[in-house]
Structure 1
């Protein structure tokens, strides 16, 4: 092989390696890019809750987060909500935060308030009134659930449902320290 070919191949390999390293999450502390997929930092957002207070994902740094996108009219969403509430009650004091992001742009606020009361939900319900966060997380179906570790890295994504309590808890094992389970 000629020298120019070898140098060209080496250059392509070097550029490809740099791109690969720069685009993936590395636990060693390299720059982390945001993307709604496992191995990447969860996209940041701020939304209002039902009480009108703003909650940002960055406020939860250091906590494991289960981010569930849902709507009141979605039967699988309704079916899995009691499991999220039970696990939130069980693990909240151990660093777990469950966040329900309501697809408010296609839902009714009165229905959301009634839903929270009917299901006795105590975890935060955030209102995505414009659909901006749904778009940022590339939500294409409800429910969609993101499992985010205490460093803000997406560890798993489940599109569809309903998720059983056992399925949710199995995914929590990768987010919560072993001593806490």
Structure 2
């Protein structure tokens, strides 16, 4: 087999493997365990019986800055954690890449931005991000009390880094949580995520 053919097959195998890592709406969300900013191990299964939001984040991404500098992300975090929702902010940026932070830096960021996630979780290997098919920062997921994935996609309907667009957009996370918490079905279960690419390990 020629080298070019081998490399092409290897590339296809990698892409296929990554594609199979995608999870499915209305199916059980795969469990994972990651370390938080306090050095504690946190597992998704710890929160069976609760609504859970997964937020892939990178504080240096302009699209993430849009939602934090405006206070939009913090507002959502506080609103829903006050209602008993578990909010997990996940950093899949690899060491040496944009958005990678230490535990102390994560704590400082949370405090300086007045953010209110339940935990900030570190995924430097990118394994959990790839398991969930996380492509952008932000990329948002909602898991229901039965552990089923009910939403995956963008935070809202306007793909821009302009904070002025927040008020004009449909907030899919708010829409989804409101529907679930009132016993209804989410109308937009899967939407295109937008933002910076997740800075996975090469």
The reply to whether TM is greater than 0.5 is yes
The alpha-carbon deviation at position 142 of structure 1 amounts to 1.9
Are the aligned partners of 2:28 and 2:147 in contact in 1 as well (CA < 8 Å)?
yes
Which among 147, 150, 153 is matched to residue 155 of structure 1?
A: 150
In the alignment, what sits opposite 2:28?
41
Whether 1:114 aligns to 2:101 is no
Whether 1:88 aligns to 2:77 is yes
Tell me the SS of whatever aligns to 2:136. Answer: coil
The alpha-carbon deviation at position 76 of structure 1 amounts to 1.2
Distance change in 2, residues 1:56/1:126 (3 Å): same
Distance change in 2, residues 1:87/1:142 (3 Å): closer
1:22-171 maps to which residues of 2 (within 5 A)? 36-81=23-68, 82-105=71-94, 106=97, 107-109=100-102, 111-123=105-117, 124-159=119-154, 164=166, 167=171, 168-171=173-176
Are the aligned partners of 1:142 and 1:159 in contact in 2 as well (CA < 8 Å)?
no
Cα distance in structure 2, aligned partners of 1:51 and 1:175: 31
The alpha-carbon deviation at position 57 of structure 1 amounts to 0.3
Number of residue pairs aligned between Structure 1 and Structure 2: 145
Tell me the SS of whatever aligns to 1:174. Answer: helix
| CA offset digits 1:132-173 (Å, max 9, x no partner) | 111111112221110111111111111476795861211112
The alignment's TM-score, normalised by the length of structure 2, stands at 0.63
The alpha-carbon deviation at position 44 of structure 1 amounts to 0.8
Cα distance in structure 2, aligned partners of 1:90 and 1:142: 21
The alignment's TM-score, normalised by the length of structure 1, stands at 0.69
Runs of 4+ aligned structure 1 residues displaced above 6 Å come to: none
The alpha-carbon deviation at position 78 of structure 1 amounts to 2.3
Structure 2: state its 5+ residue gaps.
1-20, 184-202
Which region of structure 1 is more displaced relative to structure 2, 62-71 or 82-91? 82-91
Cα distance in structure 1, aligned partners of 2:38 and 2:93: 15
The alpha-carbon deviation at position 35 of structure 1 amounts to 5.7
